Structure 1
């Protein structure tokens, strides 16, 4: 890492907290993720098992996030990984994911199932995640 890269990275801190609902919605939109209703966000965020935000220290702006949802014992899902496009390329996604992985290493019992829906090729594989096919396939549906 060059001195310039280190200086840019030092502008950010990862905090163990969840974003407020408006920031959550804004980061999803900025990252090109499907929207969630404010009602759903307000209900869902407090039910998170763990979450982190990336904060741009000079402005105190939350510019990235990730969280873990699940039952706290057998199933964990990494969810809502997003970094604002203006702050991508700084290693924030990697730092967010590393914080989530640290939580899982401490909190998840042996043989827990950790899943995620990947929208970036090659990123999550670095953390040991694999496609489930052909053994299973990911599926979803949205409520109206």
Structure 2
């Protein structure tokens, strides 16, 4: 049975889970910086199998209308077992509870079908997103 917590994991647990994703392969941020970032989230959800962190997701928001879901990750050994869906359902439920109507996210290439099953749609071609990355 999994344990669901509305708190951030410990630094060590977060680092161990994050390392399974390969997301920090370029080393743009230290794990201390990444952990500091999640601690500033508006809302987060952690899922444990006994004492092991197996899933995590968070929301950045102003609490009114700007909401961005990020860092949804599931340990590779637990993928395709509904953990990601559980995380997303908890994040979306919190948005509904707080009357947030517009929820945004970015996802890795090929992950669109997962989010589409949860009701997300891709942005219109005439309303693409933009980004700027400082090196």
| TM-score of the pair, normalised by structure 2 | 0.83
- Structure with greater helix share of residues: 1
Structure 1 position 26, deviation (Å): 3.0
Q: 1:131 to 1:43 in 2, by over 3 A?
A: same
- Count of residues paired in the alignment: 130
Match status 1:19 vs 2:9: yes
Q: 1:95 to 1:40 in 2, by over 3 A?
A: same
Structure 1: runs of 5 or more not aligned: 1-10
Cα distance in structure 2, aligned partners of 1:30 and 1:141 = 27
What per-residue deviation string (whole Å, max 9, x for no partner) do you get for residues 80-134 of structure 1? 000010111211001111110110110134xx42100022131111221111131
Structure 1 residues 97, 87: CA separation in 2 closer, same or farther (over 3 Å shift)? same
| 1:50-97 residue CA offsets vs partner (Å, 9 max, x unmatched) | 10011002xx11111001012111200111000010111211001111
**Superposition CA RMSD, Å:** 1.9
State the TM-score, normalized to the length of structure 1: 0.79
**Partner residue of 1:44 out of 25, 37, 43:** 37
Runs of 4+ in 1 over 4 A off after TM superposition: none
Structure 2 unaligned segments of length 5 or more: list them: none
The one of 31, 49, 52 equivalent to 2:21 is 31
Do residues 127 (structure 1) and 115 (structure 2) align? no
